[in-house]
Amino acid sequence: MIVLRIRGQFSREERVVIEYVGRLKGEVYRERVKSLLVEYDKEFVPPLSVRAGGDVLRYCESLLKDRFILAVKGDDVVGFLSFRHGYASELLERYSPSNYVTMVIVERGYRRRGIATAMYSELLHNLPKKLRLPYVTVRTWSTNYASVKLLEKLGFRRVAVVEDERGRGIHTLYYGIELRRSHREKPKTRVESLKMRRVQ
Ligand SMILES: CC(C)(COP(=O)(O)OP(=O)(O)OC[C@H]1O[C@@H](n2cnc3c(N)ncnc32)[C@H](O)[C@@H]1OP(=O)(O)O)[C@@H](O)C(=O)NCCC(=O)NCCS
């Protein structure tokens, strides 16, 4: 769990809790994720609704099978990151199997406060042990500057490009990061830390 203290409306300090929650069971969180997808549908290229035959809720049903990291302020979800565990594909061959990010959205009023960075940090360093893998992967598109900047700042490498896949001049970009053992498992004691160094 990561607790972010950010400046909210009227410069009031707000507390945002970022936490891996697994598959979404509670109706409240599921509805909130749906509403974020509906609200920001058109920010995606192509829009999420277009990817699901015109119905963003259909897209949502399939996304809800994934695992989630939520950014929660009070009772409200202000952002989420979803991912698939054990993902493998030809394009990401060298980075397979991975934890593959299927969606990241931060509510507009909360952007540029480090929420996406913190959600990625939870994914890269704080997952339950049984879900940790050496690779994390994700795809985005070439005109999504915010996403490209974010991934490169986090240390992701561009692994593959599918040119013009999303329209003329709009390429699909695949990114991956390899996590060192020391990144995946933070040593708790000096003895564990020494053992870990030896097996690297
Ligand atoms: C992309 C997105 C998730 C980023 O969320 P965020 O919480 O604002 O990101 P962070 O605050 O952690 O930003 C970290 C860094 O990413 C880069 N970044 C983020 N947004 C940016 C923007 N609009 N323009 C340029 N760089 C940006 C910056 O380097 C930033 O660091 P800085 O603020 O210190 O300069 C958010 O803009 C969003 O929800 N966009 C719409 C949905 C989307 O495109 N999702 C990704 C699909 S692959």
Q: What are phi and psi of 109, to 5 degrees?
A: -65, -10
pLDDT at 52 over 50: yes
CA dihedral sign, ordered 176, 181, 183, 184: positive
98 within 8 A of 124, measured Cβ to Cβ: no
Helical H segments across the chain, by residue range: 27-40, 48-51, 56-63, 115-125, 145-154, 181-184, 190-199
Six-digit token string for 181: 């053992």
- 30-41 tens-digit pLDDT: 999 999 999 999
The amino acid at 54: G
Q: Could you count the other beta carbons within 10 Å of the beta carbon of residue 4?
A: 18
Reply yes or no on whether the pLDDT at 10 is more than 80: no
- If pLDDT is split at 50, 70 and 90, which confidence band does 196 have? very low
The full set of domain ranges for the chain reads 2-199
Which ligand 1 atom minimizes the distance to the CA of 144?
A: 44
| Chain centroid offset of residue 75 CA | 21
Q: State the pLDDT confidence band at 190, using cuts at 50, 70 and 90.
A: very low
pLDDT (mean) for 160-175: 96
pTM of the model as a whole: 0.90
Report the separation in Å between the CA atom of 145 and the middle of ligand 1, taken as the mean of its atom positions.
8
In percent, the amount of the chain with pLDDT more than 90 equals 78
The preferred substitution site among 106, 122, 158 for testing ligand 1, maximizing ligand atoms within 8 Å of CB, is 106
CA of 147 to the centre of ligand 1 (A): 6
Residue 84 is which amino acid?
A: R
Spelled out in words, what is the top-level CATH class assigned to the domain 2-199? alpha beta
Higher pLDDT, 106 or 183: 106
Residue 197's pLDDT band, with cuts at 50, 70 and 90, is very low
114 versus 185: which is more confidently predicted? 114
Q: What is the pLDDT of residue 27?
A: 84
Residue 105 beta carbon below 6 angstroms from any ligand 1 atom: yes
Instruction: Record the tokens describing residue 50, joined without a space.
Output: 């277009």
Query: What confidence score (pLDDT) does residue 151 get?
Result: 98
Does the CB atom of residue 116 touch ligand 1 within 6 A? yes
Q: Which residue has the higher pLDDT, 109 or 197?
A: 109
Tell me what the mean pLDDT of segment 86-108 comes to. 96
Segments of 88-186 assigned E as strands: 98-106, 135-141, 157-162, 172-178
Residue 195 Cβ contacting ligand 1 at under 6 Å: no
Measured over all CA atoms, what is the biggest interatomic distance in the chain, rounded to whole angstroms?
Answer: 56
Nearest residue by C-alpha to atom 5 in ligand 1: 116
